[in-house]
Amino acid sequence: MAASREFAALPSDQELKKLYPSNLELLNVQVLFRHGERTPVRARFQTWGLPPFWPLCKIAREFTQTIVTYPNDATTPFEYVRRLESVAKGLPKNVPVPASGFKPGESDDLCMLGELTDLGRETGFKLGDRMRWLYIDRLKFLPPLFNDHKYFYFRSSHVARSNETLLSLFNGLYPPTYRKAGLKPTVYTRLFPQENAYPNDENCRRLSELGFMFAEIAAHRWNPILADYPSSKVTDVLPNGIAIDGSPRASGVFDTVAACVAHNVPYPEGFKDERVVKEIREAVMDEWYLGVQKSREYRTLAVGALAGDFLYRIKLAVNADRAAHGSMLKDLFSPKDKFEPREKAVKLALYGSHDTTIASLLCAMQAFDNQWPPFTSDLRFELFAHSKPVEVPKPADKPTVSTSESEVMNTPLRPAGFVSSKTKREYFIRLTYNDKVLKLPGCAKEDQHLPGDSSFCTLEAFEKVINEFVPQNWELECRQNLGKPVLDSPEIAKEFSEIPRANGAVMAKPQA
């Protein structure tokens, strides 16, 4: 079970030349990455000997907070040590006791549920360090010093572990000695109702409703399978077996095992069986990603708005490049997209996100490898420009001026010729996922990619792929079609309608 990312070896000089041909100019890079390793998001399986709090957060134990010092309203750094507490079992209700880790009395370095661990911070730093090697040291694409915000856009989901991974990545990309004194990175975070760094079903009623439907389909498909071999191997820790809608849910089981594997924490032998892990993983992937694969409406509400953000920044970069080359070609933005002041194009955009974001976006573009995204996975969108010589017709020579009509009629004209002094800028998009180059089905035809390499989508082909699921108005579409079945997948709608139910209601998705 690959819970943590296995970083590939850095490419050799020869491999680098193939990945970044000299006739292509890199203009813009956008990186969507999953946060680093974390603890489980819920306290599960304490019968295994797993405590609710794992002692893997030494770095996060000590905090520095800026506070106001009265009476002059000056600010000063204030340091403190975090300690966690719990409620003792077997004692009167609500009696607080210090929280413990794997051993009784182990109170230092404890992590909150779902918190980025020291390992997660390290892998975030490693990803940033690798990006520095590529985009700064080798390609000379980014400035070696962080001395201006104009080249960058940083954004994270509102979840702390994503923001902290982003900061760790930035620290690897631009270590302290490579930053202008006093210049701090600006990280944007959106309000929860407008968040699109993950499928935001809590603020989209229709997406939540569709999620329940596909979860029920997954339960109908997989519960009999999970009740057989996988459940038989884990009866010592899960006497009621494993189910999509069980307690804990199959996704919760998978999450906790993944966290154990990533941190080398012991876990039950039954989950070391490859068949058990495979069947649980496939069941959970059906629950979470079948909707993105089968329903345009689902993928539009789940990741369409975020995909539109990527396309928006690509268009900004293309327009800036065209302007720099004196192009009179049409602005890529339609009138309804225009607003003032217009954001400026950046070279690098970083988005701190989650596994469900990356997997859903890969599914939406038909590029998913059917493996759960490991911690610190990254999906990159790279924009390239290609200067192509253009043969421009040379006007035919005009006859010499003459007052004699017969002279004019009999003066021979030299035929029009062609010159190649002008060039046309062509644009291509390439996607890589965890250092592997992707090829999108929507860019497979000869006129949809760079000649000889289908991994470089033409801008037009890529825009068509993305616009297939970008919403026109996400908030409005989240309120439409409520109470209706899956409208754009008849076979799924039929399967859902044939699921036997005691009361005819769509199940509510319980906590994992």
Please tell me what DSSP assigns to residue 314. Answer: H
Contact 308, 466 (CB under 8 A): yes
Contacts for 387 with CB less than 8 Å, ≥ 6 apart: 23, 25, 423, 424, 425, 426
Specify whether the CB–CB gap between 57 and 117 falls below 8 A. yes
Q: What is the mean pLDDT of residues 112-118?
A: 95
- Structure confidence by residue, pLDDT tens digits, 398-425: 554 444 444 444 444 444 444 444 678 9
The number of CA neighbours under 13 Å toward the Cβ of 105 is 0
> pLDDT per residue over 4-26, tens digit each?
999 999 999 999 999 999 999 99
Rounded to whole angstroms, how far apart are CA atoms 158 and 194?
11
> Residue 497: pLDDT above 50?
yes
Q: Which of 354-358, 386-390, 484-488 has the weakest average pLDDT?
A: 386-390
147: pLDDT strictly greater than 80: yes
Query: Partners of 390 in the beta sheet?
Result: 422
Whole-number pLDDT of residue 82? 81
* Percent of all residues in the chain with a pLDDT value above 70, rounded to a whole number: 84
Distance from C-alpha of 303 to C-alpha of 360, rounded to nearest angstrom: 7
Mean pLDDT of the chain: 88
User: How many other C-beta atoms are found inside a 10 Å radius of the C-beta of residue 176?
Assistant: 8
pLDDT in tens, 286-321: 999 999 999 999 999 999 999 999 999 999 999 999
DSSP codes, 248-281: S-HHHHHHHHHHHHHHT----GGGG-HHHHHHHH
Q: Is the pLDDT of residue 109 over 50?
A: yes
- State the pairing for strand pair 62-69/418-433: unpaired
Percent of the chain with pLDDT over 90: 71
b (16+ CB within 10 A) / e for 407-426: eeeeeeeeeeeeeeeeeebb
Distance CA(97)–CA(102), nearest Å, equals 16
pLDDT tens track for 437-454? 999 999 999 999 999 999
* Predicted local confidence at residue 253, as pLDDT: 95
List pLDDT tens digits, range 316-337: 999 999 988 876 555 666 665 5
Q: How far is CA 127 from the centre of its chain?
A: 14
The whole-angstrom separation of Cα 195 and Cα 32 is: 15
What's residue 506's pLDDT? 47
CB 31 within 8 A of CB 310: no
Report how far residue 185's alpha carbon sits from residue 175's, in angstroms, rounded to the nearest whole number. Answer: 12
Q: Cα–Cα distance between 234 and 256 in angstroms, integer?
A: 14
State the pLDDT at residue 416. Answer: 46
- Phi/psi for 415 (5° steps) reads -65, 155
pLDDT per residue as tens digits for the range 165-201: 999 999 999 999 999 999 999 999 999 999 999 999 9
Checking if the pLDDT of 342 tops 80, the result is no
Residue predicted with more confidence, 84 or 395 = 84
Nearest to 383 by CA among 337, 442, 322, 292: 322
| Alpha carbons 464 and 219: distance in angstroms, whole number | 34
pLDDT at 422: 64
Query: In the predicted model, is pLDDT for residue 338 greater than 90?
Result: no
Q: Is 379 exposed, middle or buried (0-12, 13-18, 19+ CB in 10 A)?
A: buried
pLDDT of residue 240: 92
Q: How far apart are CA 300 and CA 165, in angstroms?
A: 27
What DSSP string describes 395-411? PPPPPPP-S-HHHHHHS
Q: What is the mean pLDDT of residues 41-56?
A: 87
pLDDT at residue number 512: 52
Q: What is the mean pLDDT of residues 136-153?
A: 96
Q: How far apart are CA 313 and CA 315, in angstroms?
A: 5
Quick one: pLDDT band at residue 397, thresholds 50, 70, 90? Answer: low
Buried b (16+ CB within 10 A) or exposed e, 259-272: bbbbbebebbebbe
SS3 68: strand
Give residue 205's region: left, alpha or beta (phi > 0; psi -120 to 50).
Answer: alpha
pLDDT at position 409, please? 40
Closest by CA to 170, choosing from 352, 361, 356, is 352
Q: What is the pLDDT of residues 233-283, one digit of tens each?
A: 999 999 999 999 998 999 999 999 999 999 999 999 999 999 999 999 999
